[in-house]
A and B are shown apart, each in its own frame.
Chain A
Amino acid sequence: MSLEIYLDLFSQPCRSVYIFAKKNDIQFDYKKISLFEGYQYSEEYGKINLLRKAPAIKDGDFYLAESPLVENHCSRIVAIMLYLTEKFHTPDHWYPADLQKRARVNEYLSWQHSTIRPHGSKMMWFKLLIPKAFGTEIPKEKMDNAVEDLNSSLNLFEEKFLQDRPFIVGDQISLADLVAIVEIMQPVGAGMDVFENRPKLKAWKDRVRAEIGAELFDEAHQAIFYAQEAVKTMDPEKIEHFKPKILRYFLS
C-alpha cells in the first residue's frame, strides 16, 4: 500500500508535513506540485478544480480529495499530519496520548489559523511577491498594519504559547512547534528578520531546528531561502493570470 503526498514546499503547511514524514522515516511518494502554476490553470478552466488529478494525500483507498483553493489544500494538510501520527505510530511527543498535552497541541493548531498563519503569509506577499512579481507597491498604511498584526501574533506566541518552556507543550517538540516554525519562517523568505530583538523566539527556533535536524530543516526551507532569487526568474506570463485575484484579495 503506497502513500502519496502532494506538496509544494513553498507552502508552509506542506513543509511541516514533509519534515514530519521525513523525520519519522515514513515511506511516501513525494509528488511535487506547484500551487502557483495550478492557479493559472484554474483561471483558464473556470471552476475546474486546481488539483483535479492530485489529491493532497492518497493512502491506499483513503484520500483527501482535491481542493480548488490553496487555502483549502493547506488546511487539509494539517489534518493529514494528525492522521499520519496515528497511522505510523510516531513517537508520542509529536501528538501526545496524554489528553491535556494533546489539547495544548490542538489549541495551538487551532489558534494559529487566524493569527500567525495569515499574518506570516501576508508578509511574503507584501514584502516580496506583490512588489517583485507583480510590480505593485503596497500602500504604507497597509504594510504598517500587516507588520503590526504579525508582531502582535508573535508577542502572543511568546507570552502565551512559549512562556518559559523549551517547546510549546513542554520539554519535547510536538506538531505545534513544527506547524509554528514553518509559518514563522515564511516572512524570513521575504527578507524580514522576525528573530531580530526576539531572543526567546530565536532560541526556540534554534532548538526546533536542532531537534528536526539542521539538514532536513534547511532542505525543506530551500524554496524560502531562495525566494528572493526565484522571484526574479518567475515567468511573468504564468503569474499574470492570478494577479488580479491576488491584488483584490489583499488590497481591496
Chain B
Amino acid sequence: MAGRQAVKAYLDLLSQPCRAVLIFLKHNKIPHTLELVALRKGQHKTPEFSKLNPMQKVPVLDDNGFVLTESDAILKYLATTYNVPDHWYPKLPEKRARVDEYTAWHHVNTRMHAATVFLQEVIFPNMGQPTNPAKFKKALTDLDGTLDMLENMFLKRKPFLCGDDISLADLLAVCELMQNSFDCLFQPMCSGRDVLKDRPKLLSWRSRVQSALSDSFDEAHSVVYQIRQKFTAKL
C-alpha cells in the first residue's frame, strides 16, 4: 500500500448507506477524504457527478482512479483491500455466505421499507412535497414485517446478525434503523419515531452494535450535527 493515496468517498451524510461507509472508514482507520454531495441541493445531478456516477447516486468510492458504487460492494471491497479484522467480512466460506445472504436481502427489505417510511414521514413534508398516507401506512406495515424477519430469521439467539461478532451486515442494518433523531436534519420537525421501540431483542442488538462502533459512530454523526447547526444558523 506504499505510496497509495487516500480513498475519496463521495457521501451525503443524510443517506444511511453513506453513513455506513463513513463509519467503516473511520472505525478501521482507513485513510480517506470526504467529498460531501448534498442530494437535497441536487448535487448528484451535476454533469461532473454524473460523469463519476451515471446512476446519480451516493455513496461512490474513488480508490486512486478505481471508481465503485453500491454501498455493500464498497464495504466488501474496503474490508478485503485494507486487511480489517476478519469478523467484518469473514474469509471462511460458510461465515462469509451469511454476510452475503444478509446484504442481498437488505436491499429490498430493510433498506427499502425503512427508507420509504423516512421519506414519507420526514423528508417529503420538510421539502414541501406531497405525501401519500396510504403509501406511508403500507410502508410501516412492510417495515414491521421486515423487522419480524430480521429478528426471527437473522438474529434469532445470536448477539449479531451473522454470528458472535459484528459484521458488515450489522453496520448496514443499523444505519437504516437508528432513531430518527440522528437521521433528522430538521430536529424540531423530527418525527421522533423509533421503529424498534417495542422490540427488546432488536433494541439490545442495536445497543450492542452502537457500542462496538462507539467512537466512529459519534464522529460520523458529529458531522451531521455540524451540518445541521450550519443549516439552522442560516434559518
Chain B residues, Cβ within 8 Å of A78: 100, 104
Among B77, B97, B105, find the residue whose CB has the most chain A CB atoms closer than 10 A: B97
Cβ contacts A94-115/B at 8 Å (1 or 0 each): 0000011011101101110110
Given the known interface contacts A79-B100, A80-B97, A86-B93, the answer about A110 and B55 at a Cβ–Cβ threshold of 8 Å is no
Expressed in whole angstroms, the minimum distance between the Cβ of B146 and any Cβ of chain A is 10
Q: Is the CB of B153 within 8 A of A82?
A: no
Q: Is the CB of B80 within 8 A of A65?
A: no
Nearest chain-A residue to B57 (Cβ)?
A: A111
Task: Let me know if B12 is at the binding interface, CB within 8 A.
Answer: no
Nearest chain-B residue to A72 (Cβ)?
A: B105
Q: Is the CB of A110 within 8 A of B66?
A: no
Task: Let me know if A210 is at the binding interface, CB within 8 A.
Answer: no
Cβ contacts A19-55/B at 8 Å (1 or 0 each): 0000000000000000000000000000000000000
Task: Let me know if B94 is at the binding interface, CB within 8 A.
Answer: yes
Task: Let me know if B54 is at the binding interface, CB within 8 A.
Answer: yes
Which of A80, A82, A107 is in CB contact (< 8 Å) with B68? A107
Cβ contacts B86-120/A at 8 Å (1 or 0 each): 00000001101110110111011100100000000
Nearest chain-B residue to A85 (Cβ)?
A: B93
Q: Is the CB of A114 within 8 A of B107?
A: yes
Chain B contacts with A in 174-212, Cβ cutoff 8 A: none
Chain B residues, Cβ within 8 Å of A215: none
Q: Is the CB of A99 within 8 A of B55?
A: no
Q: Is the CB of B107 within 8 A of A113?
A: yes
Expressed in whole angstroms, the minimum distance between the Cβ of B145 and any Cβ of chain A is 9
Q: Is the CB of A82 within 8 A of B96?
A: yes
Interface size class on chain A is: 20 to 34
CA of A72 to CA of B94, assembled, Å: 18
Expressed in whole angstroms, the minimum distance between the Cβ of A75 and any Cβ of chain B is 4
Q: Is the CB of B112 within 8 A of A114?
A: yes
Q: Is the CB of B97 within 8 A of A110?
A: no
Task: Let me know if B69 is at the binding interface, CB within 8 A.
Answer: yes
Task: Let me know if B34 is at the binding interface, CB within 8 A.
Answer: no
Q: Is the CB of B70 within 8 A of A83?
A: no
Give chain B's interface secondary structure class: helix
Among B72, B73, B103, B107, find the residue whose CB has the most chain A CB atoms closer than 10 A: B73
Q: Is the CB of B101 within 8 A of A76?
A: yes
Chain A residues, Cβ within 8 Å of B129: none
Number of interface residues of B (CB under 8 A): 31
Expressed in whole angstroms, the minimum distance between the Cβ of B25 and any Cβ of chain A is 15
CA of A75 to CA of B107, assembled, Å: 10
CA of A87 to CA of B97, assembled, Å: 11
Cβ contacts B122-139/A at 8 Å (1 or 0 each): 000000000000000010
Q: Is the CB of B70 within 8 A of A110?
A: yes
Chain A residues, Cβ within 8 Å of B104: 75-76, 78-79, 109, 113
Nearest chain-B residue to A59 (Cβ)?
A: B94
Given the known interface contacts A72-B149, A75-B105, the answer about A64 and B97 at a Cβ–Cβ threshold of 8 Å is yes
CA of A113 to CA of B104, assembled, Å: 8
Nearest chain-A residue to B99 (Cβ)?
A: A79
Task: Let me know if A234 is at the binding interface, CB within 8 A.
Answer: no
Which of A64, A67, A106 is in CB contact (< 8 Å) with B76? A106
Chain A residues, Cβ within 8 Å of B93: 83, 86-87
Expressed in whole angstroms, the minimum distance between the Cβ of B59 and any Cβ of chain A is 12
Q: Is the CB of B55 within 8 A of A103?
A: no
Q: Is the CB of A83 within 8 A of B73?
A: no
Task: Let me know if B46 is at the binding interface, CB within 8 A.
Answer: no
Chain B residues, Cβ within 8 Å of A71: 108-109
Q: Is the CB of B97 within 8 A of A103?
A: no
Q: Is the CB of A79 within 8 A of B97?
A: yes
* Residues of A bordering B, CB below 8 Å: 62, 64-65, 67, 71-72, 75-76, 78-80, 82-83, 86-87, 99-100, 102-104, 106-107, 109-111, 113-114, 118, 156, 159-160, 252
* Residues of B bordering A, CB below 8 Å: 54-55, 66, 68-74, 76-77, 80-81, 93-94, 96-98, 100-101, 103-105, 107-109, 112, 138, 149, 153
Closest 8 CB pairs of A and B: A106-B73, A110-B70, A79-B100, A86-B93, A79-B101, A103-B77, A83-B97, A107-B73
